[in-house]
Amino acid sequence: MKKSIVFAFIFLTSMIGFAQTEKGGWAVSASSILSFSSSSLDGASDNFTSFGLSTDGGYFIEDNLAAGMILSFSSSSNGSIDSNSLTIGPLARYYFNGTFFLSAGFGYTTSKTKTDFGDFTTDGGTLLLQAGYPIWIVDAVAVEPALNYSIGTGDFDGNKTLNLSVGFRLYF
């Protein structure tokens, strides 16, 4: 009996997901990050605050294949150092049977940093790779846990990041 219920749940979940990734549909997501840390080393205190807002969206050009854009903004402050960055670029995402997905994109990033010693601007690109699984809350809304990997180019050459994320995505 339990096996039948599990099989029915998996079957229905994959059918709902497949219906949302058909040619002609749209998908839009948004996520944000807010962090604060404070530390003290040998009597000197150090505070770090970070905020980020990211969105992406795409149009399903074929069943299970969406092409779109990414846009993100981040701001951080660490004592007398303030930094803001903006990223924009193309993105492609492929869904395997409407469930598991892989994404690839390239974002152009410009970052401005202000310090006591002057202002600095850095520019470069970031190759973005992502793998995840949409968990359908209702017919057109999914929570998407994902594994993300990015590789920097230009002024960001050598920067590599691996992290886990959870976001929300709307399907139209």
Give me the mean pLDDT over the 136-142 stretch: 88
More confident residue, 15 or 129: 129
Residue 1: the pLDDT is 54
Residue 172 three-state SS: coil
Residue 50: the pLDDT is 80
Residue 39: the pLDDT is 53
CB 99 within 8 A of CB 134: yes
Rounded-to-integer distance, Cα 40 and Cα 82, Å: 19
Residue 10: the pLDDT is 46
User: What percent of the residues of the chain are helix, what percent strand, and what percent coil, each to the nearest 5?
Assistant: 15, 70, 15
More confident residue, 123 or 53: 123
Give me the mean pLDDT over the 145-172 stretch: 86
Rounded to two decimals, what is the model's pTM? 0.73
Residue 86: the pLDDT is 93
Residue 24 — φ and ψ, nearest 5°? 95, -10
pLDDT in tens, 109-137: 999 999 888 999 999 999 999 999 999 89
Rounded-to-integer distance, Cα 121 and Cα 63, Å: 41
Asked if residue 22 has pLDDT above 60, the reply is yes
At residue 13 the predicted structure's pLDDT band, cuts being 50, 70 and 90, is: very low
Residue 9: the pLDDT is 44
At residue 8 the predicted structure's pLDDT band, cuts being 50, 70 and 90, is: very low
Q: Of 1-15, 39-53, 110-124, 156-170, which range is least confident?
A: 1-15
pLDDT in tens, 61-116: 999 999 999 999 888 888 788 999 999 999 999 999 878 999 999 999 999 999 88
